[in-house]
Chains A and B, each alone.
Chain A
């Protein structure tokens, strides 16, 4: 069972539907106790970093989530869900993230372009990526965000995207995967990535 974590920050319907379309048993879980039945975890999310961490904390997700991820359970963070993997964010104040991946989350510089970035942008794909297996370099995916991840360790960057600056749009470290864009809204390209996620073990 693919468990999609409901912590009050996102419309989860599209994510669940995309997995179901691919034939997976995907369920939305709103209690940390349900993690034990999950074969993989998906953390979606739109909205602000601070309130998201607060919701995770208040609903008792932080420790179960961290121990499941560190224990090797396949994990996919989408959009804000990717950003939460990192240590800190400067979105409206300074916030601590889950700290699974070393690095920080920063706001696009005003010179990057219009903020938020909304629309289809391209991936500079690293060939060895498992999440991006079969995805051609230059493929377009759908982004909506004002902040981006800055991993300390460049070797976990599986794809970059250019928006005024070049930033990490996919992070990948062992069982932990993060996508800054929305695979569930990126047509066939995104569905292929979700298939790749279903195939890891």
Chain B
């Protein structure tokens, strides 16, 4: 059975991790390779790297980082942040990313989704949607890292990105992000019901039950500080979810005999 995925997210700036695992066991906490490898070996089903640099000059640095990550880990990883064009997207894939995510550029120029899907296949096109609950009772799409409101309704936008060729939606609740109060289930359900592509819920994980609740609806969950600050481990989350009968890729014997 297809397993529900647990995805840690690492923020990187100028090729260095600025929000990642925070403990003395790592030689260099800023090294994306060391961080990625640690998560790959500790239960992550995928890893997302989010580049928050947002400057053109740092693009080369990011690509070199992606190459090094691709040469180090043997599970899939996604890179997001600062993708402005199909060329940017291609560069990330060529450097070794399995998927790339588009956010602001997709809102500004939705045709970029179709262009990337046609050129590289829907399977690697992730559209990130940052949504916020508004007083009119709707979920509004925000861009620029959740700072700038757009005219778009999140549910209509989710349908449009699926129609345009997106293979997956990374859905972040701006209301819940950083609160540890749980994923926004109403938002997640509204989007998951609207589309037939996988939805990754993001924003708000704080305790074990939050993962279970979100994964009743979503295909995957993303979490950052909870794992980085070692409030709980991915294995702990997975053991809990498996006990509650969700399909989960739990710890398996190491066929290479390295474990």
Contacts and interface: CB of A to CB of B under 8 A. Distances in A.
Q: Do A and B bind each other?
A: yes
Interface of A: 11, 13-14, 17-18, 21, 46-48, 113-122, 134-136, 139-140, 142-146, 162-163, 182, 184-192, 195
B70 A189 contact: no
Contacts of B244: none
Q: Point out which of A11, A113, A134, A189 has the most chain B C-beta atoms below 10 A from its C-beta.
A: A11
Nearest to B71: A17
B75 A118 contact: no
Interface residues of B, number: 37
B56 interface: no
Contacts of B34: none
Contact of A191 (B94, B120, B256): B256
B119 to A, nearest CB: 9
Contacts of A142: 75-76
Interface stretch (B1-9, B81-89, B132-140, B177-185): B1-9
Given A114-B198, A116-B122, A118-B168, A11 B255 contact: no
B52 interface: no
- The 8 A-B residue pairs with the shortest CB-CB distance, nearest first, are A192-B255, A140-B249, A120-B3, A144-B123, A120-B249, A121-B2, A13-B96, A188-B256
B65 to A, nearest CB: 14
Contact of B255 (A14, A134, A145): A134
29 contacts: A11-B96, A13-B71, A13-B94, A14-B74, A14-B98, A18-B74, A48-B121, A116-B123, A119-B45, A119-B220, A120-B2, A120-B249, A121-B1, A121-B2, A122-B1, A122-B3, A136-B255, A139-B252, A140-B3, A140-B252, A142-B76, A144-B76, A145-B123, A146-B122, A163-B2, A186-B75, A188-B256, A188-B259, A192-B256
B75 A187 contact: yes
Given A13-B70, A185-B74, A185-B98, A119 B219 contact: yes
B93 interface: yes
A184 B73 CA distance: 9
The interface residues of chain A, by DSSP majority, are classed as mixed
The interface residues of chain B, by DSSP majority, are classed as loop
Given A139-B255, A140-B3, A190-B74, 15 more contacts: A13-B71, A13-B94, A14-B98, A46-B120, A113-B2, A114-B198, A118-B198, A121-B2, A121-B3, A122-B1, A122-B3, A146-B122, A184-B74, A187-B75, A189-B255
A183 B96 CA distance: 15
A48 B93 CA distance: 17
A46 B123 contact: yes
Contact of B45 (A18, A113, A120, A195): A120
A166 B5 CA distance: 21
Q: Point out which of A14, A119, A139, A185 has the most chain B C-beta atoms below 10 A from its C-beta.
A: A119
A187 B74 contact: yes
Interface string B88-122: 00000111101000000000000000000000111
Contacts of B2: 113, 117, 119-121, 143, 163
